[in-house]
Structures are given as C-alpha cells and as structure tokens.
Amino acid sequence: MEKKLENLQILVNHLTYHYPDGTIALKGINLNIYSGEIVGIMGKNGAGKSTLIKTFNGLLKPTTGVVYIENDDVNNVLMSKLTRIVGIVFQNPDLQLFANTVEDEIRFSLKNLNFTKTELENQINLTLEKFKLKKFQNRTPFTLSGGEKKRLAIASIMCRNPKIIVFDEPTIGQDAEGVEFIRNLIKEKHSEGKTIIIVTHDIEFAIDNIPRTILMADGLIIADGPTNKILSQDQILNIGSLISPQLIQLSKFLIDSGFKVPDNAYLKENMIQFLGSFLKEKMEITEGGKP
C-alpha cells in the first residue's frame, strides 16, 4: 500500500515517556507507520523499543506528546479497544499461559469480543486448526514443548484478529523450522493487509523479511529507512550495537574487489545468481580446467 495520508495507521509525535521511578525511556519520538507495512525496530536493550510498542496498545500512556492509532489519540481510547487493533506477541509464552486446556487459552483471549456462542466456538476451532494445535485441544498448555507453547501464545493473539501485529523478538532461540514458521506467518498476515512491527536483534532475519527498519538508541529514533541501507552503514551499526548481515559484508567486499555487484545482492537468491554467473565465466575461461 502507498504511503498516503489516508493509509497512515500509527502516528507518533514528540512522544516522551517517563517511568514512575524517574527513568526517561522515550525522549521525543516521531514516527509514521502506514497500513500494510512491515517495520522492524532495532537497537540495544534499554534503547526504548519495548516502551515504544507498549504505547501502541495502551499498556503505557504517553507522558507528553501524542500517539494516534487509526486516527484515535491513545489517551482518549479505552485499552480494550486498543488491544483489539494492536496485538502484541511477547517473547516468553510462559508469561501468559495459565488455562486448564489449550482450547481455554484461546477462549480467554476472545472473552470480551462480543462473539455469539457459535461464532466463539468457530473462531476457537479455526485458530486451533490454523496453528496446528487441534490435537492438543484438551491438553494442558504446560505439557507442550517450547515450540508448541510459542505457537499457542502467538495463536492467542492472532485469534483476536488485530490489524496491527507487533512481534517482540520472535526468532530468539528458534531453529530453522521455527524461523520459517515466523517468516510464513508474517508473509500471510502481510498478504491479508495487516501492519506488522517486529522488535528484533536478528539481523539475518531482518534483512530477508523486513523492508523498513527503525533504529533506536537512548530513547530516540536515530535512523529510519530501508533495512539494507540501515544495516550497511558502519556508524549506524555502531550506535545500534549491530553488525552487518553476511551477504552485505560479502557484497561490500566484492565491490571493493572491483566486481559490479547488483544492489540487491544482500538477498541470498541474488547473491547465488551473481556468484553463479561469475563462477561459470571463470570455468569457461579455464575450460576443462579446475575452477
């Protein structure tokens, strides 16, 4: 979707946040997020990432400045409405699982959404099926494996069908399959037109899946732009305590060595294609010889 005014979904203006103990977590944030975007938020621990996302669903109220979610000032909207629009998936599923059964865990999330009984049961079933939890329906959530718990925690937010989905460190400790699951989920939700915000340290995941990245430091946004640009500037990387993804490092090396590398070689498929044609060329020159 285009970055047009009518698509503006989150508007943050001069936002500051002071914790009751006096810590100033946000020192003047300005930010526009448009409907259907995928946005990454990066930065050191303590830079203010969590504080910022908590103002989106009403967990924290701005000290000064404004946050508009879908044209509503968060100060004037009930939290129950905000959490319906903005769903935050927290990193640790243990923080939220409590019910007797997996099914009840989903039911709890749907409690105050004014569903009729049939609608409610339908939604529960759909969610369980979608997240491959149907077979655990009547099991207690505490006997699930780590990965299954994570799926359940995600399901318990997705079933509420929020328009804006915020993931807090979704790939921490995940193996390739777990990362793939998150990747597909984001793709699917993006194709449904959802807005997706991902707080992450995972540079390799970000470069592949997140087009726009915001870098925070010390309560401020210090960079906002295409992820590949953000992750290739040394100065920005230093402030954010980040490193370049491998293929950006490799592209830079190739450029320095005199190669004409395409701009998008930071993506794996493009790098394979580029190196492939280079290697093929070499092979032809040394025809019959060893590469």
Partner 1 sequence: MSFEFMEAFKFIQKKTIIHSLDPRTKLLLATIYSILAIMFEEIFILFFIFLSFFPFIIAGQLFKKWIKSIRGMTFLFLLLIIFNTLFSTFSKSISMILRIMIMVSSFSLFFLTVHPDDLMLSLLSLKVPYNIAFSFSLSFRFVPTIAIEAQNIIDAQKSRGYEMEQGGLISQAKNLIPLLIPLIVCSMKRAFHIAESLDSRAFGSTKNRTYYYSISFTKKDWLLTVILIAFFIFGIIVKLFPDLLPNWLFWRFPV
Partner 2 sequence: MNLIKFEDFSFKYDQAQDFVLKDIKLNIESGKFILLCGITGSGKTSLVRAMNGLIPQFYHGEIKGDVFVKGKNTKNVPTSTLSRDVGLVFQNPENQLIAMNVEREIAFGPENIGIPWDEMDSRIKECIKITDIEHLRKKAPFEISGGEQQRVAIASILALQPEIIIFDEPTSLLDPKSAIQILNLLKKILLEKKISTIIVIEHRLDIVLPLADEVILIDKGRIIEHGEAHYVINGEKFLNSGVNIPKCVSVFQKLMNQNIFIGKLPISIEETKNLINSIK
Which residues inside 130-149 make contact with partner 1, applying CB under 8 A?
A: 142
Chain length of the chain? 291
Identify which range of 9-17, 158-166, 217-225, 244-252 contacts partner 2 by CB under 8 A.
244-252
Q: What is the token pair recorded at 7?
A: 């698509």
Neighbours of 34 (CB within 10 A): 19
Contact flag: residue 108 with partner 1 (CB under 8 A): yes
Residue from 13, 16, 137, 249 in contact with partner 2 (CB under 8 A): 249
Q: Given the rule CB under 8 A, which of 21-29, 68-76, 154-162, 280-288 is the region that contacts partner 2?
A: 280-288
Strands of the chain (E only): list them. Answer: 8-18, 24-34, 38-42, 64-69, 72-73, 86-89, 164-168, 195-199, 212-217, 220-226
61 binds partner 2 (CB under 8 A): no
Instruction: Give the total of residues touching partner 2 (CB under 8 A).
Output: 42
Interface with partner 2, residue 183, by CB under 8 A: no
Residue 88 touches which of partner 2, partner 1, none (Cβ within 5-8 Å per kind): partner 1
Contact region for partner 2 (CB under 8 A) — 29-37, 119-127, 151-159, 242-250? 242-250
Query: How far is 103 from 121, CA to CA, in rounded Å?
Result: 10
Of 97 and 186, CB closest to partner 1: 97
- Left (φ > 0), alpha (ψ -120 to 50) or beta: where does 28 sit? left
174 binds, among partner 2, partner 1, none (CB under 5 to 8 A by kind): partner 2
**x-or-dash string of contact with partner 1, 173-212, rule CB under 8 A:** ----------------------------------------
Give the H or E element holding residue 193.
none
Least separation in angstroms between CB 39 and partner 2: 18
Q: Smaller CB distance to partner 1: residue 49 or 248?
A: 49
Identify any residues that bridge with 17 across adjacent strands, giving them in sequence order.
Answer: 26
Question: Tokens at residue 45, please?
Answer: 């621990």
> What span, in angstroms and rounded, lies between the C-alpha atoms of 176 and 11?
35
Encoded one letter per residue, x for contact with partner 1 by CB under 8 A and - for no contact, window 59-78 reads x-------------------
Identify what 275 binds: partner 1, partner 2, none; CB under 5 to 8 Å per kind.
partner 2
271 near partner 2, rule: CB under 8 A: yes
Cβ-based nearer residue to partner 2, 78 or 172? 172
φ and ψ at residue 12, rounded to 5 degrees: -120, 125
Strand partners, 168: 199
Residue 155 interacts with, from partner 2, partner 1, none (CB under 5-8 Å by kind) = none
Checking 222-231 for CB contacts under 8 A at 24+ apart, the result is 224/31, 227/40, 228/264, 228/266, 230/42, 231/203, 231/206, 231/207
117: how many CB neighbours lie within 10 A of its CB?
Answer: 7
Interface positions with partner 1 (CB under 8 A): 20-21, 54, 57, 59, 79-80, 83-84, 87-88, 90, 92, 94-98, 108-113, 142, 156-157, 160
